[in-house]
Chains A and B, each alone.
Chain A
Amino acid sequence: MTIDILKRSLAFIVLCLAQALVFNHIHLFDCATPLLYVYLVMLFRRNTSRWSILLWSFFLGLSVDMFANTPGVAAASLTFIGLIQPYILDLFMLQDSDDDFEPGLKSMGGDRFFYYVLILDLLYNIVFFTLETFNFFNWIQWLECIGGSTIITVILILVIENLRKK
Chain B
Amino acid sequence: MRNLLDFIAKYNHWFLFILLEVTSFALLFQYNSYQGSVWLSSANVVAGKVYEWNSSVEQFFSLTHVNKELMLRNFYLERQVNQLRAQVYDITKDTTSVQRNKLQMLSQYHLIPAKVISNSVNRNDNFITLDKGSDDGIKSDMGVVCGNGVVGIVYLVSKHYSIVIPALNPKSNISCSIRGRGYFGYLHWSGGPSQQAFVDDIPRHAHFKLGDWIITSGYSSVFPAGVLVGKILQAYNSHDGLSYRLKVQLSTDFGNLRDVCVVDEPDIKERVLLLNAAKDSLKQKSNY
By a beta-carbon cutoff of 8 Å, the part of chain A in contact with chain B is 17, 20-21, 24, 27, 30, 49-51, 53-55, 58, 61-62, 65-73, 75-76, 79-80, 82-83, 131-133, 136, 138
How many pairs of residues, A versus B, come closer than 8 Å at their CB atoms? 90
Residue in A closest to B120 when the chains form the complex, CB atoms = A24
Interface of A is mostly: helix
By a beta-carbon cutoff of 8 Å, the part of chain B in contact with chain A is 12-13, 16-17, 20-21, 23-29, 31, 37, 40-42, 44, 46-47, 50-51, 54, 118, 120, 122, 124-125, 127, 129, 163, 170, 191
A54–B40 CB distance below 8 A: no
A76–B16 CB distance below 8 A: no
A27–B122 CB distance below 8 A: yes
Complex Cα distance, B41 from A53, in Å, reads 24
CB distance from A73 to the nearest CB of B (A): 6
A51–B42 CB distance below 8 A: no
Assuming the A-B contacts A65-B40, A69-B127, are A79 and B21 also in contact, with contact meaning beta carbons closer than 8 angstroms in the complex?
yes
Residue in A closest to B39 when the chains form the complex, CB atoms = A66
Assuming the A-B contacts A21-B50, A71-B41, are A136 and B124 also in contact, with contact meaning beta carbons closer than 8 angstroms in the complex?
yes
- Residues of B near A53 (CB, < 8 A) are 13
Complex Cα distance, B44 from A123, in Å, reads 30
Pick the contact of A71: B20, B27, B46 (CB < 8 A): B27
CB distance from B254 to the nearest CB of A (A): 14
- Residues of A near B127 (CB, < 8 A) are 69
Complex Cα distance, B16 from A2, in Å, reads 23
A72–B26 CB distance below 8 A: yes
CB distance from A2 to the nearest CB of B (A): 23
Pick the contact of A51: B12, B29, B191 (CB < 8 A): B12
Complex Cα distance, B28 from A62, in Å, reads 11
